[in-house]
Amino acid sequence: MRGFLGCEGSAQYTAARRLRGKTQLFFRGAILGDAMERPRWPTTLAVVTGLTAIYVAAGKLALRVAFLNPSASAVWPPTGIALASLLLIGFRAWPAVLIGAFLVNLTTAGNVATSLGIAAGNTLEAIAGAWLTRRFASGRDAFERPQDFQRFLVLAGFVSTAVSPTLGVTSLCLGGFTRWSDYGTVWLTWWLGDVGGALIVAPPLILWGSRPRPGWSRLQAVELGAVLLSLCLVGEIEFMGYLLPGFSRYPLTFLCIIPLLWAAFRFGPRETAAAGLVLLIIASWGTLRSRGPYGGFAPNASLLLLQAFMVVTVIVAMRLAAGVAERRRAHEALRLQAAELERSNAELEQFAHVASHDLQEPLRTVTNFVQLLAQRYRGRLDRDADDFIGYVVDGTTRMAQLIDDLLEFSRAGRTDRPMEPTDCRGVLEKALANLAVSIRESGAVVRHDGLPTVRGDPSQLTQLFQNLIGNAVKFRGPDRAEVQISAVRRSGEWLFLVRDNGIGIAPEYRERIFVIFQRLHGRNEYPGTGIGLAICKRIVTRHGGRIWVESQPGRGSTFCFTLPVAETPGAGASGVRLTGP
């Protein structure tokens, strides 16, 4: 062993040193990791103490309006405080709920046993609500989507809130502080107070605790001030009546929903929840002073009616706010995707244009030398060599045509050229001039009715008519090719019809022919690259229209496409201006 340790230069010694170093690092990391993961008890103690003080203060204030039973109040904010604390801080905050509830009830009514029973119910209710919200309603993000808010509404608002009244009222009845005959009434008051705390008090605490920074612009801050002012004004008029005495007797509580809807549409769940809490404070203050639409009832009944009204109103506003927030996020995501798609398409079009343009130079060189080779050495080599040279010439010619068509296809999708009122008669004349040779050689006849003025790109519309008429001439039948072009007005667009008497298209190929490089015939039958109709579809789509074909084999084809109407000064009231042949 001593000899082994003395061989510091040996491989065994180096391996032993590395192993010892890794072992020390492992144990050091484990010890430090445990120390970092373990919460510091002074911090936890401070949090628990602070939450306990807040819980006790809110509980004592709420029990001052416990008219039916000293331990059951129709207004119980501590439920919302406890639920928000467990969702924001974590389950380590539950001792604050237990201690706070125990102190509130012990110093109000009952004994140690009943106070422990009530405190246990309040704590279990908060834990159950927080766990269900985290498990099924996205936790603190429960107010960002309608589906999550609905789960929060049911689980944390209605289900978990039944734990505290059940254990609490049972403890009071067993302790002799409440009669069993009053169990249902006390339970309902208790439960409705907890529901209000969970659905009205907890949401603003959770939302503002998760995102404390407002993030408003100056204009938004001014608008939010207007929302708050209108909310206070409506609440004062309806529930307090100091500005307009006697006005609160009228059933106008529906006005309270207007500021909440304003906040829901223009801002989000956070501001809407805060507005609901402000309205609850104003309405409770007025109702306790026998003002407002519910002030004429018995004290406990008036608070129960107010809580029911507030819960329903806030639920509607928060559900709408969640839907608006989700729609706003979806719109933003679509906007970003559209921008990314537009950028990607622009890059692809630029790549296709550059690649096709750069390919022309070497291809032109190859074509020129091959054609020169064919001219100089035709007949001087054997027959096979002449055929091979012919294949090369034909291949380079088709490749040049393919590159030209790719360039046209990339140009067809460009959006940098402006749309303008375009006379389709002039566009058609240019297309016919470009096709003059093929029309004369085939003996085709092209007729057209009066054509309208549309909003579009003149050069692209020329390419559109040229491709459709060129196809009609190329794919003609045994008879002379006849092409008829017409247009029909349909609401805000023009429907163009290009009819021919050619060979027609089978129904199963009506969609395929508009796909790039898709051909229905061999090159020996009909020349081409299979890009012409794809260019037509790209042009029509860029103009905001649609293109399709109606055809039967052997009966000709009718290519239909739509273009937007151009409102021109000379079009008259109807916006229609036709130019005849």
* pLDDT one-digit tens code per residue, 525-544: 666 667 788 889 988 988 88
The tens digit of pLDDT for each residue in 210-231 reads 999 888 999 999 999 999 999 9
Residue 146: pLDDT over 60: yes
Tokens of 263: 């906040």
What is d(CA 439, CA 450) in angstroms, rounded to the nearest whole number?
21
The tens digit of pLDDT for each residue in 100-139 reads 999 999 998 889 999 999 999 999 999 999 999 999 999 9
Q: Lowest-confidence range among 72-81, 97-106, 124-133, 570-579?
A: 570-579
The tens digit of pLDDT for each residue in 165-210 reads 999 999 999 999 999 999 999 999 999 999 999 999 999 999 999 9
Predicted pLDDT of residue 376? 78
Predicted pLDDT of residue 492? 79
Question: Is the backbone of residue 75 left (phi > 0), alpha (psi -120 to 50) or beta?
Answer: beta
Long-range contacts of 575-579 (CB under 8 A, 24+ apart): 576/452, 576/489, 577/452, 577/453, 578/450, 578/451, 578/452, 578/487, 579/423, 579/424, 579/425, 579/450, 579/451, 579/452, 579/453
Residue 91: pLDDT over 80: yes
Q: Which domains does the chain have, with CATH numbers?
A: 40-211 (1.10.1760), 416-564 (3.30.565.10)
pLDDT class for 1, splitting at 50, 70, 90? Answer: very low
Predicted pLDDT of residue 30? 38
pLDDT class for 415, splitting at 50, 70, 90? Answer: low
pLDDT class for 275, splitting at 50, 70, 90? Answer: very high
Residue 255: pLDDT over 50: yes
Higher pLDDT, 132 or 353: 132
What is d(CA 350, CA 358) in angstroms, rounded to the nearest whole number?
12
Q: Which of 190-194, 431-435, 498-502 has the highest mean pLDDT?
A: 190-194
Q: Which of 62-71, 124-133, 392-401, 402-411 has the highest mean pLDDT?
A: 124-133
What is d(CA 299, CA 402) in angstroms, rounded to the nearest whole number?
87
Predicted pLDDT of residue 26? 41
Neighbours of 527 (CB within 10 A): 10
Residue 86: pLDDT over 90: yes
How much is the average pLDDT of 510-516?
Answer: 81
Helical pair 458-474 and 383-412, crossing angle rounded to 10 deg: 140
Q: With contact defined as beta carbons under 8 Å apart, do 70 and 189 qualify?
A: no
Cα separations (Å) of 218 from 214, 215, 266, 321, 332? 11, 10, 14, 22, 22
How much is the average pLDDT of 558-568?
Answer: 82
The tens digit of pLDDT for each residue in 17-60 reads 554 554 454 434 433 344 444 557 778 889 899 999 999 999 99
Tracing tokens 């390419």 back to the chain, one arrives at: 463
What is d(CA 560, CA 134) in angstroms, rounded to the nearest whole number?
56
pLDDT class for 242, splitting at 50, 70, 90? Answer: confident
What is d(CA 221, CA 34) in angstroms, rounded to the nearest whole number?
46
